[in-house]
Amino acid sequence: MLPHPWIRSPRNLGRNALAMIAGLLFTLWLTVVVILSTTFDSELYSTSELAGFLPPELNLTDQTPMEAGNCSVDEPINCRDDDVFELLMSAAFENLKGVDFYQFGKPVEGDNGSSCHMAWRFKHKEENLVGFYKDYRSFRVLRSEDCKLRVVGIGDFHSGGNARKGIFEKAIKIGEIVHGDLEFEEPFSDGKYLVYGDDGVKYKSTMHFSWSFLCALGEAEFLNRTLVVDNVRFNWPSVAEGEMVRDFRYYFDLENLKDASSVIDQVVFWSEWGKRDGLEVHVVEGSRVTPMKLAEAEESLIIRKFKEGDYWWGVCAGEADVVIQRPWHKFRNSRALSDVSSAIASRMEWDYDGVHVERGEKVKNKEMWPNLDNDTSPQAVLAALRRRGVEDGRRVYVATDEEEAALFDALKARYEVRFLEDYRDLWDEGSDWDYEVRKFNDESSVEFDSYMRELVNYDVFSRAKKKVETFYDLTRDCKDGLNTC
């Protein structure tokens, strides 16, 4: 018998071979993804969420054959089956085109017998980020009479709540950030450490705190030392007495900080220090001794002590300013806050413009900011948006510390205006944010405070397509007050 003419043709033979190779490579890749995803923890912690990628018309995923023969069309779908896992992953790849997937969690049962929930880590293709986002969605799976399965629907962002918590107790993702205390990874006695004493500052903003903390971290990196962090349960000095204890992890990504820098929790540090004799200490009084003068210090521990009126950030002032680099790229919002920011952006379909209007206490201090009140009036903001080319009818996110939101009502005549408070369900009791931060507070509720609002507000604003800033676009005043520009 002669070969089939399609196979016999050299040109078609080449095409056929390429198709077979491509199919084999895809199958091999998909198998590896399944193995990795089933090996590692499917509780996916993330830096921030995206959504709204599903096209208006869902592309039905190719039918996947299951066990031939005996099956019932109405029999519940076994979401934990590996074939179902592959089917759901294929559906995600096919229909969520704007996403680069990183890890899938093993699917779990959904809301009914034809529903499966699955979680994954991912990045948006248009964003250049270090971390990963988290999503978990519901998949509607139907079985035909010949026992084949197909995905006929994918739910909205975070619709697959059963997959949120994960199903494995212990696992470590290769190349991923690992949760845990700030413990040492080298023989303790061989390390070199840096401790900053309390400078008594009551931080007025997260930027104020970050400026000081990153000075300490920058000096530690310059000296090639491990920074001793003032414990994981970070008692952030409050603006007013009686406020809640502020855990560092409510605000900033401690796991990423550990992954990117050499830091150790002070409780762990002093516990290990007390077990050893003969380790030398070099005490430095205040910020006047520059990091450059400490570069040759051989002692195991350098302690900087601060008196009233002397601050952490002073270490990086003066001649040290050009030597010490604050590692801003290693200091990120907590994953819970980043998730809130991305959820807000996704609800605005990642298509919005933004204006950052800083008023608060500054607008009351006419001596330091004489023009701020007038320069951030509704009319001034409206004029700045138009100068920036923001067209009528556009969605505009107003990131502001102004308590009277009605101040910006004039913008609503031209734009679809959004504020942080429009999305308060994202941090109310029972939300994903609430679920995450309770882990750090003995399962007790945590207030979504002004510091968190500041971080989320600016994060959402920074993702806008066209942006108008307070101290760069709106006002002639200097950000830090009169004559500080």
Question: Is 310 in the same domain as 442?
Answer: no
> Is 484 within the bounds of a domain?
no
Picking from 330, 364, 398, the residue at the C-terminal end of a domain is 330
d(CA 438, CA 456): 18
Which among 204, 234, 190 has a CA at the least distance from the CA of 216?
234
Question: Is 196 in the same domain as 268?
Answer: yes
In the three-class reduction of DSSP (H, G, I as helix; E, B as strand; rest coil), residue 269 is classed as: helix
User: How many separate domains does the chain show?
Assistant: 3
pLDDT grade, residue 332 (50/70/90)?
confident
Question: Is 142 in the same domain as 82?
Answer: yes
Tally DSSP H helices, then E strands, for the chain.
Answer: 12, 15
Question: Is 276 in the same domain as 207?
Answer: yes
Question: Is 353 in the same domain as 443?
Answer: yes
Question: Rounded to 10 degrees, what is the CA torsion of 180, 182, 185, 186?
Answer: -160
> Is 20 within the bounds of a domain?
no
pLDDT over 70, % of the chain: 75
> Is 168 within the bounds of a domain?
no
> Is 3 within the bounds of a domain?
no
Question: Is 430 in the same domain as 467?
Answer: yes
Question: Is 212 in the same domain as 326?
Answer: yes
Question: Is 51 in the same domain as 153?
Answer: yes
Which among 255, 440, 448, 232 has a CA at the least distance from the CA of 335?
255
d(CA 274, CA 269): 9
> Is 483 within the bounds of a domain?
no
H or E segment to which residue 292 belongs: none
Q: What is the pLDDT of residue 14?
A: 46
Question: Is 259 in the same domain as 297?
Answer: yes
Digit-coded pLDDT (tens) for 359-383: 988 999 999 999 999 999 999 999 9
Question: Is 309 in the same domain as 212?
Answer: yes
Question: Is 295 in the same domain as 340?
Answer: no
pLDDT grade, residue 202 (50/70/90)?
low
Other beta carbons less than 10 A from residue 24's beta carbon: 10
d(CA 303, CA 213): 15
> Is 370 within the bounds of a domain?
yes
Q: What is the mean pLDDT of the chain?
A: 78
Q: What is the pLDDT of residue 200?
A: 66
> Is 123 within the bounds of a domain?
yes
Question: Is 341 in the same domain as 323?
Answer: no
Q: What is the pLDDT of residue 389?
A: 95
Enclosing domain of residue 316: 188-330
Q: Which residues pair with 102 in a beta bridge?
A: none
pTM of the prediction? 0.61
Picking from 330, 353, 378, the residue at the C-terminal end of a domain is 330
Q: Residue 209: phi, psi to the nearest 5?
A: -65, -45
